[in-house]
Structure 1
């Protein structure tokens, strides 16, 4: 097993790094980070077998690049770049070979198809408009899509930080058809979203509010019911914080949210009525944890600290949901995206 970490390339990072994973349980360790993909600003990426689909910040252009990776290294097989900033998120359906990108700066959502060799085909795009911009300074300059991926029923969903909205789409005749919209409180700053295992609830994280909102919804009628909202940071924490990544365990019992500023991961238990109970806030032992992720068994979790150039390895208790740090100060530069791989 290995861990891939990529992020910004503003200081010393050269792109995506691979860290070997050895040992078991509390003796598990991550080894030295080795650069395997050289690319500008791979702040998010996905993997399908030997293909890596990475955000590419190529100076005055931005987009995604596809790399084929093997034991001897990596080579770029295709790219799609447009003038301006690069996207913030890449979603994937490996069965259908679809890619979805959300561009925070240009407000463009894109859908791609790819083949076995990694060649890209742009299917369609749509651009968010400034329909309900929030009151915070980060929202004043327009819509900011930060997430674009699939729903449990196979529709598409976008979180828009600028508009404080969750927007739902369907791909019809290679065009994106807008289906519905859920509006969060002003200044919420929608960033990322996960769904309950029965597909009847979603949990959306607000970056600007440091909150997670539980919503019951029907993907046939598009009815929404606001269930509850919870802070991801302590009430007495007054310094700047931006909530970031959110993951839900495969059994649907626990939700995890990273806090950039408070520099922690908040662990919530999902109750029978889908309300949440705080289980733990655990330090990431670094500064600005944008992303974290776990292995297939969800026994091991790695958080990357962007500003302090380090990562932390945890052992996860699958019964209680709690995280126990077992390795700190793992050197990796400017990490913003974590992905376990075989």
Structure 2
């Protein structure tokens, strides 16, 4: 098993790094080995994988976009790029079956769809640009819409989370064209960032970066009806310093939700009750500063969080019964990490 970690390339980092994950000497626990650069690329703050292909955000100076790399004889080779003048996207999602990629550009407010082939060739299909329909009151929202997520829904539509507009927008994608279907509006200043769904597809949990909250919403994707059920803080009530909630994950069995907190520097664990409401189970340190992303292996037994500002990663084991995390290895050097992926 191995990890791929990428992030900003403003200081020490030069691209995407690979870390081996092997049994420790005691034969009981896993441990991460040293990070080794495997893809040289600018600002791979998010990337996805399809077999031997990696599709990553690429900040190429005056241009930004996405690039594809293929693993050939143990080394990654660049296959294609789609770059345009201006900033790079913040998020890239993938539909491996349909061979589609979805990007959200935080700075330009553009959502885009691409196709790819088995060789990693990229083809632009369509895009839409968010407008300032419902800008929130926070300083981070004053300059316009900021979509931070664009990916699939349970029924195969597409969804974006817009931090600037405090909203979640839904789209269809038919005949290579995007069409707006519906909008769910979060509270002013929520800062909608990422979203996950209950296994039955009838509820979603959207995390707000600016509010450090999770909003539970009952969701009818056929008739586009929404009902806000509850909102939960990802940080303690008495925490007054700056925090930005970031990643959100839901376990495959739908029993636990996890979020990262940049500022409080923790992962918050919630148990999901039978009625889909949440119960706080744990807040655990990431043992570093500014944890943007974390992820788990296929069996959800191991979790790795990466700390962007302190250039380190932490390995945990996850208890499937109570959802809690236990740190087993700390202070693994990884520069400017913002994306964690257990490699296939």
Q: Same fold (TM over 0.5)?
A: yes
Contact 1:245/1:258 (<8 A) preserved = yes
The offset of 1:72, in angstroms, is 3.5
* 1:327 maps onto 2:329 in alignment: yes
Whole-angstrom distance in 1 between the partners of 2:130 and 2:181: 14
Partner residue in 1 for 2:106 = 104
RMSD: 0.9
The offset of 1:199, in angstroms, is 0.2
174, 188, 206: which is aligned to 1:186?
188
Partner residue in 1 for 2:13 = 13
Partner residue in 1 for 2:271 = 269
Whole-angstrom distance in 1 between the partners of 2:51 and 2:29: 28
Whole-angstrom distance in 1 between the partners of 2:23 and 2:229: 42
Whole-angstrom distance in 1 between the partners of 2:331 and 2:72: 28
The offset of 1:69, in angstroms, is 1.8
Partner residue in 2 for 1:240 = 242
122, 141, 144: which is aligned to 2:143?
141
The offset of 1:75, in angstroms, is 1.2
Spell out the pairing of 1:1-342 with structure 2 (5 A cutoff): 1-23=1-23, 27-342=29-344
Q: Deviations over 1:73-120 (max 9, x none)?
A: 211100000110000000001111100000000000000010000001
The offset of 1:26, in angstroms, is 5.5
Whole-angstrom distance in 1 between the partners of 2:206 and 2:23: 35
Whole-angstrom distance in 2 between the partners of 1:115 and 1:77: 11
What SS class does the counterpart of residue 290 from structure 1 fall into?
Answer: strand
The offset of 1:28, in angstroms, is 1.0
Whole-angstrom distance in 2 between the partners of 1:225 and 1:145: 22
What SS class does the counterpart of residue 138 from structure 1 fall into?
Answer: helix
Whole-angstrom distance in 2 between the partners of 1:246 and 1:71: 35
Whole-angstrom distance in 1 between the partners of 2:293 and 2:109: 21
Contact 1:26/1:315 (<8 A) preserved = no
Whole-angstrom distance in 2 between the partners of 1:12 and 1:232: 30
The offset of 1:71, in angstroms, is 4.4
What SS class does the counterpart of residue 208 from structure 1 fall into?
Answer: coil
TM-score (norm 1): 0.99
Whole-angstrom distance in 2 between the partners of 1:295 and 1:181: 33
Gaps of 5+ in 2: none
Whole-angstrom distance in 1 between the partners of 2:73 and 2:166: 44
What SS class does the counterpart of residue 140 from structure 2 fall into?
Answer: helix
The offset of 1:173, in angstroms, is 2.0
Q: Deviations over 1:192-251 (max 9, x none)?
A: 000000000000000000000000010000010000000000001100000000000000
Whole-angstrom distance in 1 between the partners of 2:67 and 2:93: 14
Whole-angstrom distance in 2 between the partners of 1:139 and 1:235: 24
The offset of 1:27, in angstroms, is 2.1
Whole-angstrom distance in 1 between the partners of 2:336 and 2:302: 21
Whole-angstrom distance in 1 between the partners of 2:74 and 2:160: 37
Whole-angstrom distance in 2 between the partners of 1:88 and 1:42: 9
The offset of 1:172, in angstroms, is 2.1
- The size of the alignment, in residue pairs, is 342
What SS class does the counterpart of residue 120 from structure 2 fall into?
Answer: coil
Gaps of 5+ in 1: none
Q: Deviations over 1:302-339 (max 9, x none)?
A: 00000000000000001110000000000000000000
What SS class does the counterpart of residue 182 from structure 2 fall into?
Answer: strand
What SS class does the counterpart of residue 291 from structure 2 fall into?
Answer: coil
